[in-house]
Structure 1
Amino acid sequence: MKITEQLTSAVTKTGDFMTLASQDVSGMLSLLNDLLGPVPRPDAPSKLEQRASAAGMIDVIRLWQRQDDAPAATEEEIRQFFTEEELTRFSNETGLSATATLSMLQTLLPRCVRRRALHEPFTRCS
């Protein structure tokens, strides 16, 4: 990694920390729910399931739907599930760096998928 890339990365991480951007999940959840579509109904496949199927991740989604404390998604899973344009949109709309955006999505996506399966609104865990 070049010195300029290291400096940019350090400044970005400092900015994310100083603004506590990674603590505010409301904007991220709004956009996430928008992309995932309406909460699933038993009689129709959801936008979430269609997206997961197209990405070859239906088994992963089913696991997240069943588990209360599903492990965080991997970076690869996030990049497989969302397009680069969507990841950029998350970053732009939340004000987070690309790194912080990936990190938050890795944590929030499995939890959000679980809540949707239970038809419960997402509330932030303590």
Structure 2
Amino acid sequence: MSLPSPDSNSSPKKILIVDDARTNRLMLKRILALLKFEVREAKNGLEAIYQCSAWQPDLIFMDLMMPEMNGLAAAKKIRQGVQGNQVIIIAYTAGPEADETQMCTIPPGCNDILYKPFKINDVISLLNHYLNIEISV
């Protein structure tokens, strides 16, 4: 695996993982930490909104179904914030059933969608595309 080569003057990209399931957060966090990203977690939409205003991540993996505030409501609130249009929001949700012929559309307020269980290559592809970096496996 080839890691991203950051500029000497740039700090690591910041990624927020929002999911009420601790196991899901930890799995994604381990991958992102290995790739040298700065990672924080939130367990619901309310925490995500706070983290966005306080920490200003570059990219968010946002679970859609959570208690307190779901991912769609949180994405909408984040987009209404001062830097809301600058952050990349990737919807992070359970995939469609095997018998469905169409994948789900990208939810409003989100830039893209990642289905659970995810493949590492899918995560890397999203990171490369939206953060303008080059990670190879």
Larger fraction in strand: 2
Larger fraction in helix: 1
User: Larger relative CO (CA 8 A, sep 6+): 1 or 2?
Assistant: 1
What TM-score results when the alignment is normalised by the length of structure 2?
Answer: 0.26
What TM-score results when the alignment is normalised by the length of structure 1?
Answer: 0.27
